[in-house]
């Protein structure tokens, strides 16, 4: 197999402290990376790089692992521009939120939904995201949920069944009946296409007992839990996530000290989604408190048409540094290695021998520029599985 060296890297983030300086980012100055097939086979200082078949000079730019976006909702149709505009203009808006997207998604063809996923994936890739998770949750019938997952699985391995997003409008008077549907026939139809099961555990969606029923039923079918927890207020979501060894508790905006302690003493990652607080003008999650307690923190977009319509991880990194108490190093780690941990993956989120060759060349000498130069398109090129999938912009 041919080998390719990426050379003249000003600063390389490996996320492997054994390779670079001893910080969690494992930084190496004046570095090179050698790729063979879809894998990284060597990482280190340029002067020590082995001979290779090909070389690509990145001209003194920084290189980071591809972003791992561990939380998105991309199988949908329509948008909610008017709802956002009304919310940001201080006007009341009474249309149905998620229900609006459910109606549009049910009415869409498979081709339309698949084209939508492909479009947002391409958008995310251009911004450096090389792995993304996505969920169902806008179908809420057996057929529509299974269809959403079937379509999602064509685009990513990280597929999550979220039939328990909201109680289907068809079951408005019978939420218990809807939980029976989700944990019975809907789960049977959806499990073959999914790796994960998720539930929106929140007042107005599913309470602790209902969420537990959904997650344990999914686990019995071989799906691993993750939980939308403590976004809008305090609740049982985080504790339930830890108790069931969920890979991730997502949002974590309203936490008690006991919630923070539980996360810190568990393998459950706290995934923070600042795009949601940005787009709803809500209070930020406190990343500093979680990090100081020793919890593992991931950063993700929550890309969805209602509450966070951004596919940009760099935007989330900038918000986390500006408003959530994270250092630039911590935010980058959380958007790469943190996302990998939230998906229980060790082959992504780092640039080290054996890892997948997923990496981003920044048009900047350091990863710190992601937060220092917010809103600027700094992604110069993207490599995924050893192939350059986003080429440099013509200068």
Tokens 């001979």 sit at which residue? 51
Q: Which of residues 95-124 bind Zn ion (CB under 5 A)?
A: none
Residue of minimal Cβ distance to Zn ion: 302
Q: Closest distance between Zn ion and the C-beta of residue 66, in Å?
A: 21
Q: Which of residues 302-321 bind Zn ion (CB under 5 A)?
A: 302
Q: Closest distance between Zn ion and the C-beta of residue 247, in Å?
A: 14
Residue pair 76/101 in contact by the 8 Å Cβ criterion: yes
| CA atoms of 335 and 357, how far apart (whole Å) | 17
Q: Closest distance between Zn ion and the C-beta of residue 310, in Å?
A: 13
| CA atoms of 201 and 214, how far apart (whole Å) | 10
- Segment interacting with Zn ion (CB under 5 A) among 62-70, 296-304, 314-322, 383-391: 296-304
Q: Exposed, middle or buried by CB within 10 Å (0-12, 13-18, 19+), for 264?
A: middle
- Segment interacting with Zn ion (CB under 5 A) among 3-11, 118-126, 297-305, 383-391: 297-305
Residue pair 340/346 in contact by the 8 Å Cβ criterion: yes
Q: Which of residues 35-74 bind Zn ion (CB under 5 A)?
A: none
Cβ nearer to Zn ion, comparing 202 with 302: 302
Cβ nearer to Zn ion, comparing 200 with 383: 200
Phi/psi region, residue 55 (left: phi>0; alpha: psi -120 to 50; beta: rest), is beta
Query: How many residues interact with Zn ion (rule CB under 5 A)?
Result: 1
| Residues in contact with 67: Cβ distance below 8 Å, sequence separation at least 6, in sequence order | 127, 128, 129, 130, 131, 313, 314, 335, 336, 339, 360
- Segment interacting with Zn ion (CB under 5 A) among 86-94, 238-246, 280-288, 295-303: 295-303
Q: Closest distance between Zn ion and the C-beta of residue 200, in Å?
A: 7
Cβ nearer to Zn ion, comparing 43 with 300: 300
Q: Closest distance between Zn ion and the C-beta of residue 114, in Å?
A: 21
Q: Provide the b/e sequence for 8-38 (b: ≥16 CB within 10 Å).
A: bbbbbbbbbeebbeeeebbbbeebbbbbbee
Q: Closest distance between Zn ion and the C-beta of residue 331, in Å?
A: 20
Q: Closest distance between Zn ion and the C-beta of residue 73, in Å?
A: 6
Cβ nearer to Zn ion, comparing 12 with 166: 166
Please, what is the Cα angle at 82 between 107 and 109, to 5 degrees? 15
| CA atoms of 255 and 231, how far apart (whole Å) | 9
Cα–Cα nearest to 393, from 368, 361, 359: 361
The 8-class DSSP code of residue 11 comes to E
Cα 342 to chain centroid distance, Å, stands at: 8
The 8-class DSSP code of residue 316 comes to H
Cβ nearer to Zn ion, comparing 198 with 363: 198
Q: Closest distance between Zn ion and the C-beta of residue 370, in Å?
A: 23
Cβ nearer to Zn ion, comparing 279 with 296: 279
- Taking each continuous run of H as one helix and of E as one strand, the counts in the chain are 15, 16
Cα–Cα nearest to 253, from 275, 283, 292: 283
- Segment interacting with Zn ion (CB under 5 A) among 142-150, 170-178, 294-302, 371-379: 294-302
| CA atoms of 358 and 283, how far apart (whole Å) | 33
Q: Closest distance between Zn ion and the C-beta of residue 112, in Å?
A: 22
Cβ nearer to Zn ion, comparing 40 with 238: 238
- Segment interacting with Zn ion (CB under 5 A) among 58-66, 75-83, 187-195, 298-306: 298-306
- Segment interacting with Zn ion (CB under 5 A) among 15-23, 218-226, 299-307, 340-348: 299-307
Cβ nearer to Zn ion, comparing 86 with 232: 232
Q: Closest distance between Zn ion and the C-beta of residue 272, in Å?
A: 12
Cβ nearer to Zn ion, comparing 144 with 302: 302
Q: Which residues bind Zn ion (CB under 5 A)?
A: 302
């Amino acid at each position: 197999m041919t080998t390719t060296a990426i050379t003249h890297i000003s600063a390389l983030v490996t996320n492997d402290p054994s390779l670079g300086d001893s910080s969690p980012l494992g930084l190496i100055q004046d570095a090179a990376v050698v790729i063979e097939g879809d894998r990284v086979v060597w990482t280190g200082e340029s002067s020590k790089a082995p001979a290779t078949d090909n070389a690509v000079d990145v001209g003194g730019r920084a290189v980071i692992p591809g972003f791992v976006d561990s939380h998105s909702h991309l199988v949908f149709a329509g948008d909610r521009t008017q709802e956002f505009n009304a919310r940001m203009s201080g006007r009341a808006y009474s249309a149905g939120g998620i229900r609006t997207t459910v109606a549009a998604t049910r009415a869409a063809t498979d081709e339309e939904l698949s084209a939508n996923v492909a479009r947002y994936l391409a958008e995310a890739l251009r911004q450096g995201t090389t792995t993304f998770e996505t969920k169902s949750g806008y179908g809420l019938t057996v057929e529509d949920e299974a269809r959403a997952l079937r379509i999602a699985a064509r685009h990513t391995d990280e597929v999550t069944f979220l039939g328990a997003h909201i109680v289907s409008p068809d079951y408005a008077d019978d939420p218990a009946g809807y939980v029976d549907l989700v944990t019975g026939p809907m789960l049977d139809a959806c499990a073959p296409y999914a790796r994960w099961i998720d539930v929106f555990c929140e007042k107005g969606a599913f309470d602790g007992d209902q969420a537990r029923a959904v997650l344990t039923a999914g686990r019995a079918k071989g799906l691993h839990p993750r939980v939308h927890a403590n976004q809008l207020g305090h609740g049982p979501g985080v504790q339930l996530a830890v108790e069931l060894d969920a890979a991730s508790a997502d949002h974590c905006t309203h936490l008690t000290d006991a919630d923070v302690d539980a996360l810190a003493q568990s393998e459950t990652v706290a995934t923070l989604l600042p795009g949601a607080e940005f787009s709803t003008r809500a209070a930020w999650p406190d990343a500093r408190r979680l990090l100081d307690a020793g919890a593992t923190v991931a950063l993700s977009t929550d890309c969805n048409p209602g509450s966070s319509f951004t596919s940009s991880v760099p935007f989330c990194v900038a918000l986390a540094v500006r408003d959530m108490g994270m250092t630039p190093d911590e935010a980058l780690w959380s958007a790469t290695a943190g996302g990998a941990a939230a998906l229980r993956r060790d082959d992504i989120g780092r640039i080290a021998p054996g890892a997948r060759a997923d990496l981003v060349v920044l048009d900047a000498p350091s990863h710190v520029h992601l937060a220092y130069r917010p809103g600027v398109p700094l992604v110069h090129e993207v490599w995924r599985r050893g192939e350059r999938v986003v080429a440099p912009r013509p200068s």
